[in-house]
Amino acid sequence: MEPIIIKNMTFAYPGQNALFDNCNLDIESSWKLGLLGRNGRGKTTLMKIFQNQLDYTGKIQCNLNFASFPLSIEPEVTNYAIGEIYYALPVLQDEQWKVERELNLLHTNLDILYQPYKSLSGGEKTKLQLASLFALDGYYLLLDEPTNHLDQASRQQLANYLKTKKTGFIITSHDRNFLDHVIDHCLVIEQHQLVLEHGNYSTYFQQKRRRDQEALIVNQQLKSEIKQLKQKQQQRQQWAQQAESEKKNNAHADKGFIGAKAAKMMKKSTIMNKRMNETIHEKEALINEREQIASLELNYRTSLHKSLITAKEVSLSYYRQLFQPVSFTLKSHEQVALVGNNGIGKSSLIKAICGDFPGNISGQIDIANKLQISLVRQDYSSNHGLLREFANNHQLDYEQLLNTLFKLGFKRQTFNIPIERMSMGQQKRVELAKSLVEPAQLYIWDEPLNYLDTYNQEQLIALIKEYQPPILFIEHDQNFIGEVATKQVSLTPPCQR
């Protein structure tokens, strides 16, 4: 296939520092390339640049036809899912069999084609979109976080599926195990550079850890040298001041001699001070910037209620029964994980608890009286406008919101960008920061790790372990569940009759 040749490519959003500065790369489109980097560093932006959706300077030589995940779909409630796919990808209207072929390879029930798109789970939507994209002929795919909303079994199925593909693609994901099984090259957006390396995520991570260890040793040495230089600088300034003081206070001495001595000392001190400042600045410039993980804060308010949520023989139906009746209790300081396969109804159960499920509910759900609940949603596309407006609309402390976002990795220049223009990772962190800042007695988080990098994941784990707030959450990352969940509630398919 055709290569992607990047020459002197520079890009910056208006009023911000450059995300990419004079980049030069040759990418083979046959590679299964993992695009890595912290949120907000430009992964999604780079994919948009490849598709000529953003203006940049420099040149990108490429004769590929690009298609990207996720697709832009605004579903109508009454439309079948396949109709939404036809609308997004008109070239597939006479080739539904190809979509069905790819769905079979993804071990996905073809019935989802004839269900309302809006009724599909996040995982079902992901599989349908991926199957449709891989049904296209002659396109090079850019896959932005396809592992979001997929359970562990589905992630393994997707990894196996992508391994069989003979064509290359570019993919982003924060699931390290997934990337290890799928990619053969890494393109990493680090703080001030693009790093292209052969191998999977583990190969890159080992090399980065070695570089970080070397940088730490160099940093410690440079900081020690800077400290010594500043001490010498201070000492020389003190000598010069002592000489000047001797000239002023010695009334009977040879003032000509003392004055000449003081002037000479001051001149030498000024020259040395200038040289030392230059040396200090040079050494400070050599210090490698390393990722720092800041501690998060939570506006958690304790509740007098012992039991916050009580579910008794609860089952939901939406055209069909979603899962077998389930009973559980969530008490203060319990972190409860809802687990089960994609499409089983985990998010629907959260909607039922929040009073927002449009289908039928059987059984009983009791919520403690006047409970302050903070929600992290899967779909937060309703968040828009500037952060100050967002804070005002949700009665949030604006400075506290900005401080939380900064700790989550936001750059200060991003604070003035409308939320709808932010990357998906940045938008997710706005949704999460809102939950951390607003006062709450119970937290309900629907897949909080989606679009979050590994640094943010570690922050959340540390936060929950410190505060131990009551949480009901859905997550497919087994490491996160193992670290924070005090118990798990499993949803199982209804009995077949």
Out of 29-33, 220-224, 281-285, 432-436, which region has the weakest mean confidence (pLDDT)? 281-285
| CA nearest neighbour of 81 among 22, 121, 21, 23 | 121
- Does the structure show a pLDDT above 70 at 263? no
Cα separation, 196 vs 187, whole angstroms: 5
pLDDT tens per residue, range 371-390: 999 999 988 989 999 999 99
- Does the structure show a pLDDT above 70 at 391? yes
Indicate the pLDDT class of residue 457, thresholds 50, 70 and 90: confident
| Percentage of residues of the chain with pLDDT beyond 90 | 58
Q: What would the mean pLDDT of 326-334 be, rounded to a whole number?
A: 95
Q: What is the DSSP string of 330-351?
A: EETT-EEEEE--TTSSHHHHHH
- Does the structure show a pLDDT above 70 at 492? yes
DSSP 3-state assignment of 405?
helix
Q: What is the pLDDT of residue 450?
A: 86
Q: What is the pLDDT of residue 271?
A: 62
Q: What is the pLDDT of residue 195?
A: 82
74/402: higher pLDDT = 402
Rounded to the nearest integer, the mean pLDDT of the chain is 86
Q: What is the pLDDT of residue 284?
A: 54
- Does the structure show a pLDDT above 60 at 497? no
Q: What would the mean pLDDT of 16-35 be, rounded to a whole number?
A: 90
Q: Is 376 exposed, middle or buried (0-12, 13-18, 19+ CB in 10 A)?
A: buried
How many C-beta neighbours within 10 Å does residue 324 have? 14
Q: What is the pLDDT of residue 258?
A: 54
- Does the structure show a pLDDT above 70 at 470? yes
Q: What is the pLDDT of residue 253?
A: 52
Q: What is the pLDDT of residue 202?
A: 83
Out of 5-19, 234-248, 378-392, 416-430, which region has the weakest mean confidence (pLDDT)? 234-248
- Does the structure show a pLDDT above 80 at 244? no
User: Rounded to a whole number, what is the distance in angstroms from the first to the last CA of the chain?
Assistant: 51
pTM of this structure = 0.68
- Does the structure show a pLDDT above 60 at 100? yes
Q: What is the pLDDT of residue 267?
A: 62
Q: What is the pLDDT of residue 184?
A: 94
pLDDT tens per residue, range 138-153: 999 999 999 988 888 8
Cα separation, 368 vs 277, whole angstroms: 63
Determine phi and psi for 190, rounding to 5 degrees: -95, -175
Q: What would the mean pLDDT of 131-137 be, rounded to a whole number?
A: 96
Q: What is the pLDDT of residue 68?
A: 95
The dihedral sign for the CA sequence 369, 371, 376, 382:
positive
Q: What would the mean pLDDT of 21-26 be, rounded to a whole number?
A: 90
